[in-house]
Structures are given as C-alpha cells and as structure tokens.
Amino acid sequence: MRTWRLAVLACLCAAAAAAPAEAKTHHHTWNITYQYKSPDCFRKLAVTINGESPGPTIRAAQGDTLVVTVHNMLDTENTAIHWHGIRQIGSPWADGTAGVTQCPILPGETFTYRFVVDRPGTYMYHAHYGMQRVAGLDGMLVVSVPDGVAEPFAYDGEHTVLLMDWWHQSVYEQAVGLASVPMVFVGEPQSLLINGRGVFNCSPPAASNGGGAACNAFGGECGWPTLFTASPGKTYRLRIGSLTSLASLSFEIEGHTMTVVEADGYYVTPVVVKNLFIYSGETYSVLVTADQDPSRSYWAASHVVSRDPTKTAPGRAVVRYASAAVDHPRTPPPTGPRWNDTASRVAQSRSFAALPGHVEPPPARPDRVLLLLNTQSKIDNHTKWAINGVSLSFPATPYLVAMKHGLRGEFDQRPPPDSYDHGSLNLSSPPASLAVRHAAYRLALGSVVDVVLQNTAIPPPNGRSETHPWHLHGHDFWVLGYGEGKFVPEVDGPGLNAASARGGAVMKNTVALHPMGWTAVRFRASNPGVWLFHCHLEAHVYMGMGVVFEEGVDVLPRLPASIMGCGRTKGHHY
C-alpha cells in the first residue's frame, strides 16, 4: 500500500507540474433559482443558473482551473452540480455527485467547486441530485487546447449544440410516478430542445401527450428555434452534447454531412455521417462545411431513436448561411432515421476509432473483470432497475465521506457481486432484482478493470430491451467492443484482449449499451476517490441503475468540510 500511495502522489505531482505555466483560473458565480421558462411554449418552473436554462457555456483551456461558486437560492430544495467528463484528478470531492462525493448544497448556502480541466475537449455540467437535472440545470463546458497547440483538424468557427428532451410535468411529479406502486413511468418527452429551444405542437392531438396541457405561453421568443450562422465555404466545429433525460437521439443538418472528429474529449479517426446518433451523456465534435446553396437556410434537427418517437416533437434549429435571404428554411424539416433500426446505431458505435497517436492504448489485460447484468423487476412492489441483483441507492452520508472516515455503518459492507449466472441467463427472462442496497465495488488502486455491461429485456407486457448510455465518473475508459445477445466469457472474453491489442480503441466517459447486446470497456482505477458508474437516463438511475466504485480513498488527504453536513457529518467543527 505504501508503494501505491507514493506512486499516486508522484502521479498527481507530475500532472500538476505538466500544467502549462500560463494556466489561468476562471471564476464563475452562479445563483441557482427557480424561474418560469417556456422553451417549447409551455410555461413551467425551471431550475436555472443566473436566471438561464440551460446555463452559460463555460470555456477554459487545458490546464486551467475552474472556480465555480454556487449560491443555492432555492427555498427548500438542495442542489449539487456534476462536471460531466472532467476526471477530477486530485479533487474527487468536486465531482458534484450528491450522495457519492458530497452532501447537497442547502438553500442559503454557497459551495465552491474548484478543479483543473486537465484535458481539452467537449464536456458538460448538470445537476446530479435526485432528478433535478431534468428541471433544466445544465450546460456545456468547453476546454480548448492551450495556445500554440494545434489540433489535428482545421475549422473556421465553432458552435455549441446542447441537446435535451423536455417534459411538462415537474421533476417532482415524474419522481412520484416512478416511486409509486404500481410505477407510473414518466412517459415520452413532450419535446426535444436544441440549446434550450423547442417546438411543441399545441394542437390537440399532440397536446394529448402533455397530460392534457396545451401551450400556455406565447409571444416573445417562444417557439423560435436556435439560429446558427455560417459563412459560405467555411468549416465549423459543432461541439454537440446530449443531456437528455430519456431520449437517444439522431442529430442531422439538412443537406450537409458531418465529419466526427472528437468523442467525449478524445480525437477519433474522422468518420463522415449524415445522422449522428448521440446518447445521453455523450459529446461529439463534428466538422460541417457550409458548401451548399448559400442563398438559403437549412434545418438542424434532433429525433428520438430507440423509443417510439411519435409522441415527441422533434428538435429543430436553423443553420442560416450569412448570405441567406430569410432565416427560416422553406423546406420541410428532416424526418429522421428509422427509430427502431438498432443495427445502424450499433454500426455507428463500432465505426469510431481512436485517432492514431492521440490516444494511449489500453493495458493488455485486466486485473479484474466485472460482468454487470441489468434487470428491471419489482423489489417490495416497487419497480427497480438493478445490476447483478442490486439496486443502487444513495446513503445519507456520501460514500466518499463514509469510506474515507471509516463509517462502516453508513453503507453496506458486503460488496455487490462481480458477476451473475451467465450460463443460465435468458435475456428475455432475466433473474429478478433482489435488493436495494448502499453497496460499492472496492477496486485496487491502479488496477485495470474490465466491465462488461449485459443488456436484457424488461418484463412483459413491454418486453423491450432499451438503450442505456453508461457514464463513468472520474475516469475515461477504452471501449473494447459491442456485441449482440449474450456475452459468453469463454468465447467473448479473449476477444476483448485481442481488441485491446489491435489498437484503435476509443476512450470515452459514456458508452451506449444497445438493446439486447453487451458493451465492454476497460479502465485503470488510478484516481483515488469514489465514483459513480450509471445509466445516464435520469429515470433509470433514479430507479437504481448504477454502481459505485471506490479506489484509494486511504491515500486521499483530509476531505474538505464543505462537502459535509449530511448523514453522520453534522457538528460544530471549525
């Protein structure tokens, strides 16, 4: 253990030393309040940053420090903000995951997130507390390469594109339904938003998917799509992120192809696509050249895939050539790809490869393999998602604090299972979920861990297998492969090491688990802290679809008092 401790400290020092001498510190002050918003012409309360939802795009350069001072100005509701894709090396207490890395920020309180953005790329932030993210507390975080460093592609301008889905019900109403017996699902979103703007069809047929509520807001800018301006002949980098609550999306721009060059902060070998499939928690950079008729404008559109899209108004924005006569295209908007064409989505997932020379290759083999089976079934009459039979819940004392301080009574000391009975598994009739627990996998610091996510079908009458985008906090992972049907360790296991050896594995922080398939990733557990790994669909993690990884909490320094105040960490202590 002494050896590890020294090795990790050396590693952290090296990282600090590697930061450019001109690294800057960027200060942001955020007031969190409720505000009425009408992104799709339905007026409802949103949880906002300085009055806005989505919040501002944060920009910094690699090696810079971000200091975000969050004033919770809500009256009775707490908050916590996660910096999605930032590994928080040396600052695990700044990950912003309530129940895991911190106590929530109480009304009237101020919490300061301070962390280094150690890698360039396209990232995001969002509330990570209950289902609060769904109320609109999110935004994008763009980390540029340092001055003087060239990127492996060229572009003339840049736009950020934040994709969301949107409900007219409040998050409280959604959560009550999910927790009810019988469970009442949140249903399909009423609309899709692009940079916080959407279009909801207020006429009665569409309104029937709004709990009976039709549009209740008009005028102003309500219903106007976001406008992206392009100069003819120029090439733009679109930094696209998805923070949908439920929807997997296809994004496209009428009449244009997109060249994917970055995924989750890592360069990929360029791939040209017409439709970019993007799952909640993912980011991509695509290059788009304004090489079409310069006298007009073009639709950008997001569509639901992998779930029935007919109840959801597609997302629409406009790419307007600077020379165009009018803002709005006169063409019909794109209709999107076939929503239930799983094969084309799996193919696109497989099409991405790390750009040679830009991504460290994965270790040759793992020290430990976790086979994680997801199941949806009832526990004490409540519908729950579980992983290897264990449905995750968040303890009153955050895992990080409980583990660092040895509060063994605050979480379940029995580790959840590393595997499941894959021999007898029937994907269409998987075993039942067993228990709701505060459980965590303890990983050896520095060990290499493979995780194979195994999808199943949910019980009848639905019986479908869904797309689950899994997001890992505190690390990036190499994607070793996507498979169909059952993962068979004896057959498919060696293939993972072979894939690793072949090279080209992309690194990501979020990966899709496709319907009735499996997805394998590898990561190095080298970031002391406690980290959530979970389905990024908000309803799913709310119902328990996640696991917690701990590594090296013993080598962490004393935790800041600011993350405490809940569970067993109350007191007079200063």
Residues that bind a copy of itself (CB under 8 A): 33-36, 45, 75-79, 99, 103-104, 106-110, 129-132, 170-173, 175-176, 179, 212, 216, 394-396, 401, 405, 542, 559, 561-574
Q: Which is nearer to a copy of itself, 146 or 567 (CB)?
A: 567
Token pair for residue 250?
């296809």
Q: Which is nearer to a copy of itself, 2 or 572 (CB)?
A: 572
Q: Find residue 317's DSSP bridge partners.
A: 226, 300
- The single residue listed with the structure tokens 């980390």 is 143
Beta-strand ranges (E) seen in 168-247 are 191-194, 226-230, 235-242
**Nearest to a copy of itself of 257, 562 (CB atom):** 562
Q: How far apart are CA 475 and CA 557, in angstroms?
A: 20
State how far the Cα of 246 lies from the Cα of 243, in Å rounded to an integer: 9
Q: Closest separation between CB of residue 243 and a copy of itself, Å?
A: 17
Q: How far is the CB of 1 from a copy of itself (least distance, A)?
A: 22
| Residue 395: C-alpha distances to residues 52, 102, 384, 437 (Å) | 31, 11, 17, 9
Minimum CB–partner distance for residue 141 and a copy of itself (Å): 23
Can you tell me whether residue 189 is helix, strand or coil?
A: coil
Cβ at position 107, least distance to a copy of itself in Å? 7
Q: Burial, 125: exposed, middle or buried (Cβ in 10 Å; 0-12, 13-18, 19+)?
A: buried
Q: What does each C-alpha distance from 293 to 227, 272, 377, 487 come to in angstroms?
A: 17, 20, 53, 48
Looking at the Cβ atoms of 346 and 545, the one nearer to a copy of itself is 545
> Which strands form 546-551's sheet, in the order they lie side by side?
441-443, 546-551, 529-535, 468-472, 510-513
Q: Tell me the residue ranges of DSSP E strands in 171-292.
A: 191-194, 226-230, 235-242, 248-253, 258-263, 266-273, 276-278, 283-289
Contact (CB, 8 A) for 385 and 455: no
Residue 459 is inside which H or E element, if any?
none
Residue 472: CB partners within 8 Å, gap ≥ 6?
509, 510, 521, 523, 531, 533
Both tokens of residue 290? Answer: 């304004």
Give least dist CB 404 to a copy of itself, A: 9
Nearest to 87 by CA among 520, 538, 508, 400: 508
Q: Taking the complex as a whole, how short is the minimal distance between the CB of residue 434 and a copy of itself, in angstroms?
A: 21
Q: Toward a copy of itself, which CB reaches closer, 330 or 558?
A: 558
What would you measure as the largest C-alpha separation in the chain, in angstroms? 69
For residues 27 and 570, which CB has a smaller minimum distance to a copy of itself in the complex?
Answer: 570
Residue 171 or 480 with smaller CB distance to a copy of itself:
171
Smallest distance from the beta carbon of 219 to a copy of itself, in angstroms? 16
Residue type for position 37: K
CB of 34 or CB of 153, closer to a copy of itself: 34
Indicate the SS3 state at residue 348.
Answer: helix
Closest to a copy of itself by CB, 51 or 356: 51
Q: For a copy of itself, which is the closer residue by CB, 192 or 403?
A: 403
In the complex with a copy of itself, the residue whose CB is nearer, 34 or 155, is 34
Q: How far is the CB of 94 from a copy of itself (least distance, A)?
A: 16
Kindly list the strands in the beta sheet with 517-524, ordered across the sheet, starting from the edge strand earlier in the chain: 435-437, 390-392, 382-387, 368-379, 448-454, 517-524, 477-484, 507-508
DSSP state of 416: P
Shortest distance (Å) from residue 551 CB to a copy of itself = 21
Least separation in angstroms between CB 391 and a copy of itself: 15
Q: How far is the CB of 110 from a copy of itself (least distance, A)?
A: 8
Residue 80: CB minimum distance to a copy of itself, A: 9
Amino acid at site 144: S
Nearest to 119 by CA among 508, 447, 456, 438: 508
Q: Going by C-beta distance under 8 Å and a sequence separation of 6 or more, which residues neighbour residue 237?
A: 155, 157, 158, 159, 261, 285, 286, 287
Which residue number, 44 or 197, has a Cβ lying nearer to a copy of itself? 44
Nearer to a copy of itself, 104 or 474 (CB): 104
**225: three-class secondary structure by DSSP:** coil
CB 177, min distance to a copy of itself, A: 9
Nearer to a copy of itself, 35 or 447 (CB): 35
**Min. distance of Cβ 59 from a copy of itself in angstroms?**
29
Residue 327: count other Cβ atoms within 10 Å of its Cβ: 12
